[in-house]
Amino acid sequence: MGIPCAGRFPPRLSVRLRTTLATTAIVAVALGIAAAVLVGVLQANLQGSVTAEAVRRAEQAAALLAAEPAAPVGAVIDPDVLVTGAPVHAVPGVATVDEPVTRQERTPSGSYMLATEAVATEDGLVYVRARASLEPAMAALNALRAVLIPGVPALLALVAGLTWLAVGRALSPVSAIRAELADIAATDLHRRVPVPRARDEIAQLAKTTNRTLDRLEHAVGRHQRFVADAAHELRSPLAILRTRLETAPPQPLTREALTDLDRIQRLTADLLLLARLDADEPAAAEEVDLGQVTAEEATLARPRPEIRVDLRIASGVVVHGSPDHLRRLIANLVDNAVRHAGSAVLVRLTRRDGQAVLDVEDDGPGIPREHREAVFDRFTRLDEARDRDAGGSGLGLAIARDVAVRHGGTLAVVAGPPGARLRARLPCAG
């Protein structure tokens, strides 16, 4: 098992949050080191100043005693200077002290720095003990700590807030680019992401993205034009071929050729419709009585006349859209159900919660759960599971879903009887 590297943030955190946390952590470390150094240097300087003051007092008192004819042992020159006969820091075997000796002393009245100076007098060697209080230095250090303890977290909070705002402002063009890309679909390739005014890496990213969209739009446009042109150019030769076959003497081979020609013409019409849908060509939209259209399309004659088509259609279900496209949606769903049904197909149209709900059920083998989305892909046919599908091209359900989505609705396979049930939902007019 891999061990995550130290210092890395979880990938689920945003760039803005990771940058804010990293900046705050770096500033926190820098402020901690700076505060520790500041306190240490100030403490050393203050303690050195107090020590120097104690030494100055000891030397000054020693100079006065050296001029006296007798050593006033035990004399208190001032509250912080004392003359003694033996140094409190005396070391065995050492009779003289050449330089003042300092040490720190803590008493009930406070902390002091002591300086001891040896003075040679007529009565012998005496020692001067002078002290300087550490309380002012400690008070200054405590005041500094009182400022640093709440000040450093407050400064870190300020740094975090300013970093959050600055990074958010810097990344706002990225958010605009992402939002625009999220809205661009296959039919919106003419749109472009906004390019910020700043000449930075984000502007270069936006320009590169727009150039990529240019190439993608050009490639998709060429593909759509090819499909549309090929389907359009095939219609005239196919119509001529149908005329010749229909006027030819009736023969088994002629009938088979007409059957194959029907499939080719349906495939050509499907390709042409798909090209128009992909190109987002505007279609005439109006209020359509979906119940009437459903009844008309469901009762048309189909290749398997033995399949019974039952209708349960509610009245007054009106939607806004293209009549031709809606007819094609219903026809494709009914054709698909008839091809796979065992004996009957049920077409049900109801209105629920402001939506037109169209269910088309068959009593065939059904659609496996793992293929309920794949059947809407173009040129997909589940031959191994639906043996009766002898006339489909694999485009009917793909076209039906595209039409439903174009009208603001959905088309999906839903759980139902042993056969297949496809449900289309469309928003009702008004």
pLDDT at 362: 93
Mean pLDDT of 27-50: 93
pLDDT at 270: 81
Angstrom distance (rounded) from CA 4 to CA 251:
76
Residue range 190-218, pLDDT digits in tens: 888 888 887 888 889 889 989 988 998 88
Q: Identify whether the C-beta of residue 293 lies closer than 8 Å to the C-beta of residue 326.
A: yes
Angstrom distance (rounded) from CA 367 to CA 381:
11
> Which one has a higher pLDDT value, 219 or 347?
347
Strand partners, 231: none
pLDDT at 389: 45
pLDDT at 87: 55
CA angle 407, 278, 293 (to 5 degrees): 35
Domains recognised in the chain with CATH numbers: 15-87+98-155 (no CATH), 201-274 (1.10.287.130), 283-427 (3.30.565.10)
Residue range 178-197, pLDDT digits in tens: 888 888 766 677 888 888 88
Best-predicted range by mean pLDDT among 168-177, 209-218, 282-291, 354-363?
A: 354-363
Amino acid at 213: L
Mean pLDDT of 47-58: 89
| Nearest of 136, 155, 150 to residue 42 by alpha carbon | 136
Find the distance separating the first CA and the last CA of the chain, reported in whole Å: 59
pLDDT at 181: 83
pLDDT at 47 over 80: yes
| Nearest of 285, 380, 270 to residue 326 by alpha carbon | 285
pLDDT at 304 over 70: yes
> Is-above-0.85 flag for pTM?
no
